[in-house]
Structure 1
Amino acid sequence: MHYHSNFAETRGFVDHSARVMQVITWNRSFKGIPQPENVRNELDEDEWETHATTLDKLHAWEKKLYHEVKDFEVIKREYQQKLAVLNKKKQRGVSSSSLEKTKSVVSHLHTKYVVDMQTMESTIAEINRLRDHQLYPKLLELVKGMGVMWDTMYIHHKTQLRIISGLKSLDISVAARETSDQHHDRTVQLYNVVQDWHAQFDKFMTYQKQYVGSLYSWIKLNVIPIDTNLKPNSSQPHETTPPIKRLLHAWHDILGKLPDEAAKKAIYTFAEIVKTILVHQEDELKLRLKIEDTRREHGRKRRQFDDWAQKYMHKTAGILPEDGNPDGLRADPMVERKAAMERMELSMKELEETYVKQCRVVREKSLNLLRTSLPELFTVVSDFSLQSAGMFKGLWSIAHTNDQLDE
């Protein structure tokens, strides 16, 4: 799907069809030349073709046919005009020299018309060969591979569901109560992965529908015969429906029935749940930083108080006024500062208690959210995988049944 875009990103604009046509032309020009012993002309072997190169070849031959049809229509109109002139001259009885001259032009145009028609029919035959003998088998391989892939995905998702279901009985009493930086980083990583999962799943389904839809639209036009006969009452030979059209019709139909929107919604919802957990963790981490800053500030003020108290006690030792108050009528500064320190310690203790509660709330909310959302997520994606695997297996079976009937 990204074959063309990858080239465009790295090399700028690349005309793939022109490049492939060079290979096609070279390839067919040298088919008659004897090859050295033990040398294989890999370009002649269909087994070396990839899905992308087959599409490139079809595109190149379609472009070739497009230009041939345009040229053919020009010759056809010119031939019809000259033929009409010739008939009029015959009716009017013009001179034989004028008649012969017109006949010569008509004969030349008719020859060119026949040659161009044969060239065009040869191109159509090559497109049909590529369509039926290269593209169709590769689409069957893709269908088979998709069935195997979704089978594997179903097995993995069922295993994940079984593991996640064990969370309901998980004892987390021995786990760390606080959210560590590493734990938070892993939660951020999980959020990014789930977001990417949602985005890539959406792209996968969108591109698949677009690709199959484009092929189906093309094949509906491709099987329409082109009228190359000048006789108005002639009829084209009946052409049976090619297997690739039946395959793409069924494929296009099953893609419209797959419940991919439910799977996308489940993944998106889980991403939002992880984001909610992240918000709770960030609140907890902010509170932890606040406590750490408060502890440092408390330690600094405690040291200042201890230094001041030691100097104050030393200064006032043995000095007592007559009323027993070293400062007379003033309040004892030791009592005031000690009370201030006690208030700070009490505030610190309350902040720590709030932090402990926050840690417990975050852990319980996170666990509850995961216990409920993860089983729902893996139930939906495992059901989607099972349906997808079944539909692609059915598509493979239908295609092979039709192939056997055609034989």
Structure 2
Amino acid sequence: MGAAPSREGDAARAAAREHTKRCRERLRLMREAVRQRRLLAASHAAYLRSLGVVASTLTRFAVGEPLPVSDHTPPAVIVQRAVAPSSPPPLLRDIYQRQREAQQQQLQQQEDGGVFVDVGAAAAAATRTEGVGVGVGVGGAEEELRIVVRHRSLAEVAAGLEEYFVKASVAGDALSSLLETTTTEYKGGSHSFLGALCCLSAPAVDRIDSMSGRQRHSATLQQLLAWEKKLYKDVKARERLQIRHDKKLAALRDQEYSRKIGVDIQKLKAAWDRARAQLEAASRSVDTSASAITELRDTHLARQLLGLCHATLDMWRAMRQHHEAQGLIAQQLRGLSSRTSMEPTTEIHHKATRALEAAMNAWCAAMAAVAKHQRDYVHAVGGWLKLTLAPVTGAEASPVAAELAAFADRWGMVLDRVHCVDVLKSIKGFAAAARAVHALQSDELRVARRVRQHTRELDRKSRMLRQVEKSYCDSYLPGGMSLWHWGRPMWREDHLQAREAHNEVAQRRDEIAACRKMVEDEMRRHAKAIDATRTATVTSVQEKLPAVFQAMAAFSASLANSLEAVCRAPPPQQNTHTQQ
């Protein structure tokens, strides 16, 4: 007779262990989501900064390269598209519709209960809530504006590229505000982590009021993390109480069947009643935590995730347009010629080349970091949403949860499918070209230093030769005219000294000739080094720089199209609700 209750107890304990395991994984994923959001915000800000740094360093590099563009080079025809805002996506409209129906139902219940509610204020609040994110729709009408641009030199081309770098950096400001890249976290209030902890003990109505308005995404994640910690603690406590309750119940049933003498059955019943009351209290605490998590997920997290995805879509759509314009401008670099300029490299330009290489490497690292942290963040949130589909309690599944989990899953698959490998390779290629130019400039500067050194040595030896010649002329020529007055022995001695001085002059002239030849050789090497540097510079900017913008435009277009498909995908039909 005790087999059936035993099986029921085993099933309850197994379910409790499964709930504990699932809640532990949910807590881990939410911790990872909070961490990845911070990393994503930091990497996004670093990426936008890197665009500005690349623009300024490229301009400084081009100023030091007086390379003209041929007049036969065709101008760039830049197409600017103005995208008009469209209607909200289907999933966002579906969420708004459900929330509006829930608000109307709540107002109706309050009116039936005799509570006066300002319907106009509630409708205005619903309208304000509905307005959040409407302007980030996709698929709007496009207006094209064609601009013909012609640049005369490398510096003008770099200035045009810098303009669109700045525009691309500004295109990420909306996403920066959603990721809170400039706000100070943990500054107190209900939007901080301590505020989230305070919300745990607040009543439901007060908690909703504290979270009303445009809540920050970081605050939502922090509150979800705090509730997940509490839920995990409550589920663990419920599992322990379930085991204790089963033991008390088994002892009571064993006593009822065996009728042992000396055992007070009333004490066993009282112990079982206490265990059952504690288990019910723990279950109510679990229900409270699960309801709070569901409320945060469906009320705030859903809109924030959709807003993040749409802001990312808008950013990459704008960047596609700007990088396409940069690619068209960079095509004018085909008209550069290294034969028209033989200006030597200066130390300032040498440092500008090194700064350009460092800026390109920083841009590459920031691009890789943004892609990685965005993918990890979406996977963490998507994994957590999937685990929330299985209810911890017996509550009904939320219709928003399945749609939101499917949305996050599609978003994650897009990030897994669209890679930035080609972009990173092209940026690294131009950085390597800048490093090669920097090495050639170093060789050129070393040859220039040797030219200056040998030139100074030639000047020094020339001055010494002039001094020796002047001393020879002043000392021996007048004495030679009066040799007949001093006799033959004196004449011989002076003649020997004159020959030695003459030999010294000839030796110094030979040294000067050798030094002059060395200077001429070094100057020829310097000219060859200048020509090699100019040729490498022109080749690098003609071949490597346009490839960077072409790869960026292709990646931006691919990611924007994929994200647009994710955002415009219709929500799955709820068959159960339709049947009801």
Q: TM-score range by the shorter chain?
A: 0.7 to 0.9
Report the TM-score, using the length of structure 2 for normalisation: 0.61
Letter in 2 for 1:202: A
Say whether residues 1:129 and 2:300 are aligned partners: no
Structure 2 residue identity aligned to 1:82 = K
Aligned residue type for 1:332: N
- Cα pair 1:153 1:385 within 8 Å, conserved: yes
Deviation at 1:318, TM superposition (A): 3.4
**Structure 1 residue 91 and structure 2 residue 91: aligned?**
no
| Alpha-carbon shift at residue 294 of structure 1 (Å) | 1.7
- Give per-residue Cα distances to partners, 1:210-257, cap 9 Å, x unaligned: 1112122222222223367xxxxxxx8666652221011101111111
Q: Conserved in 1, the CA contact under 8 Å of 2:350 and 2:441? A: yes
Distance in 2 (CA, whole Å) between partners of 1:61 and 1:42 is 14
- 1:369 is the counterpart of 2:529: no
Instruction: Note the C-alpha offset of 1:129.
Output: 1.4
Residues 285/381 of structure 1: CA separation in 2 closer, same or farther (3 Å cut): same
Q: Report the Cα distance in structure 2 between the residues aligned to 1:383 and 1:3, rounded to whole angstroms.
A: 26
Which sits farther off after the overlay, 386-395 or 105-114?
105-114
Letter paired with 2:475? K
**Deviation larger for 146-155 or 97-106:** 97-106
Letter in 2 for 1:263: V
Matched, 1:164 2:330: yes
- Which residue of 4, 22, 26 corresponds with 2:197? 22
Contact 1:198 1:264 (C-alpha < 8 Å) held by counterparts: yes
Q: Secondary structure at the match of 1:133?
A: helix
The answer (yes or no) to whether the contact 2:40–2:373 under 8 Å persists in 1 is no
Q: Distance in 1 between matches of 2:558 and 2:233?
A: 44
Matches within 5 A, 1:118-197: 118-171=284-337, 175=341, 177-197=343-363
1:382 aligns with 2:565: no
CA distance in 2, matches of 1:339, 1:101: 122
Kindly provide the CA deviation profile for residues 314-336 of structure 1, in whole angstroms up to 9, marking residues without a partner as x: 11213448899665776633222
Please give the residue correspondences for 1:24-103 in structure 2 after superposition, counting only pairs within 5 Å: 24-25=199-200, 27-28=202-203, 31=206, 44-94=210-260, 98-103=264-269
| 1:333-352 CA distance string (max 9 Å, x none) | 32222222122112111211
What is the match of residue 105 of structure 1? Answer: 271
Distance 1:3 1:266, change over 3 A: closer
What root-mean-square deviation, in Å, do the aligned CA atoms of Structure 1 and Structure 2 show? 3.3
Among 27, 34, 38, which residue is 1:2 paired with?
38
Please give the alpha-carbon distance, in whole angstroms, between the structure 2 residues aligned to 1:117 and 1:111: 10
Secondary structure of the residue aligned to 2:571 is helix
Once the two structures are TM-superposed, the CA of residue 138 in structure 1 deviates from its matched residue by 0.7
Q: Equivalents in 1 of 2:335, 2:41: separation in Å?
A: 49
Residue 284 of structure 1 corresponds to which residue in structure 2? 444
C-alpha contact (below 8 Å) 1:86/1:102 kept by paired residues: yes
The 2-side partners of 1:405 and 1:70 are apart by 33
CA–CA distance in structure 2, aligned partners of residues 193 and 249 of structure 1? 35
**Aligned pair in 2 of structure 1 residues 17, 66: CA closer, same or farther (>3 Å)?**
farther
What residue identity is the alignment partner of 1:149? M
Cα drift, residue 101 of structure 1: 2.1
Letter in 2 for 1:375: P
Contact 1:21/1:60, CA 8 A, preserved across alignment: yes
User: What percent identity do the matched residue pairs reach?
Assistant: 21
Find the counterpart in structure 2 of residue 356 from structure 1: 527
Q: Which residue of 2 aligns with 1:402?
A: 571
Structure 2 partner of 1:231 = none
Indicate the larger mover: 263-272 or 44-53.
44-53
The answer (yes or no) to whether the contact 1:72–1:113 under 8 Å persists in 2 is yes
* 1:342 aligns to 2:528 (yes or no): no
TM-score scaled by structure 1?
A: 0.85
Q: Unaligned 5+ residue runs, structure 1?
A: 32-40, 229-235
Distance 1:281 1:198, change over 3 A: same
- Match of 1:259, SS? coil
Task: Name 2:411's counterpart in structure 1.
Answer: 251
Letter in structure 2 aligned against 1:19: L
1:123–1:165 Cα change, 3 Å: same
Residue pair 1:61, 1:127 contacting (<8 A) in 2 also:
yes
* C-alpha contact 1:46 1:134 (8 A) present in aligned 2: no
User: Which residue identity lines up with residue 248 of structure 1 in the other structure?
Assistant: A
In 1, Cα distance between the equivalents of 2:430 and 2:574?
47
Counterpart for residue 294 of structure 1: 454
Structure 1 position 5, deviation (Å): 11
Q: How big is each residue's C-alpha offset from its partner over 1:170-215, in whole Å with a ceiling of 9 and x where there is no partner?
A: 3555545211222212211111110100111111111111111212
Structure 2 letter corresponding to 1:198:
C
Q: Is the 8 A contact 1:68 1:116 kept in 2?
A: yes
CA deviations over 1:344-363 (Å, ceiling 9, x no partner): 11211121121112101110
Q: 1:314 pairs with 471, 474, 481, which one?
A: 474
Query: 1:3, 1:52 within 8 Å by CA — same for their partners in 2?
Result: no
Shift of 1:395: 1.3
Tell me which amino acid in the other structure corresponds to 1:342.
A
Q: Which amino acid aligns with 1:92?
A: S
How far apart, CA to CA, are the structure 1 residues paired with 2:192 and 2:236?
18
Cα distance between partner residues in 2 of 1:42 and 1:180: 65
Equivalent residues, number: 385
